[in-house]
Copies of this chain bind each other. A is one copy, B any other.
Amino acid sequence: MSAVDCPVRDVLDRIGDKWSTLILGTLAAGPHRFSAVQRTVPDISKRMLTQTFRDLERDGLVARTVFPTKPPSVEYRLTPLGQTILEPLDVLVRWADRSQADIEAARQAFDTAS
């Protein structure tokens, strides 16, 4: 399809997926270990956490560091590139907060009208 090679599509897919933004938001506060993120985002499964981390790492937004302790621990943190996405994300979040009431009102109007 025509959108396959669109760079915006990649970003939208990542932003829009269920967990990426929550993880990025968590890491925005500083580096976290695997299990720390899992505690902060309680509903995510190990499987999806691993997979989302890998996607974020592959895109260069998150860096992964293994500490050869026993048992091993792994730390994830935002890369410089990852830091830069926080601002566009924040713009979106602020829009959502600002528009929340309007959207809710529109929905109720739409639902009662139908």
- Which residues of A are in contact with B by a Cβ distance under 8 Å? 1-3, 7-8, 10-13, 15-17, 21-22, 42-43, 57-61, 81, 84-85, 87-88, 91-97, 99-100, 102-103, 105-107, 109-111
In the complex, A109 Cα to B12 Cα: how many Å? 22
Which of B3, B16, B81, B93 is A102 in contact with, Cβ under 8 Å? B81
Residue of B nearest to A109 (CB): B60
Provide the main secondary structure of the chain A interface: helix
What B residues does A57 contact at CB under 8 A? 110
13 A-B pairs with C-beta separation under 8 A: A7-B97, A8-B96, A10-B103, A11-B96, A12-B96, A59-B106, A59-B107, A60-B107, A81-B99, A88-B88, A88-B95, A91-B91, A92-B92
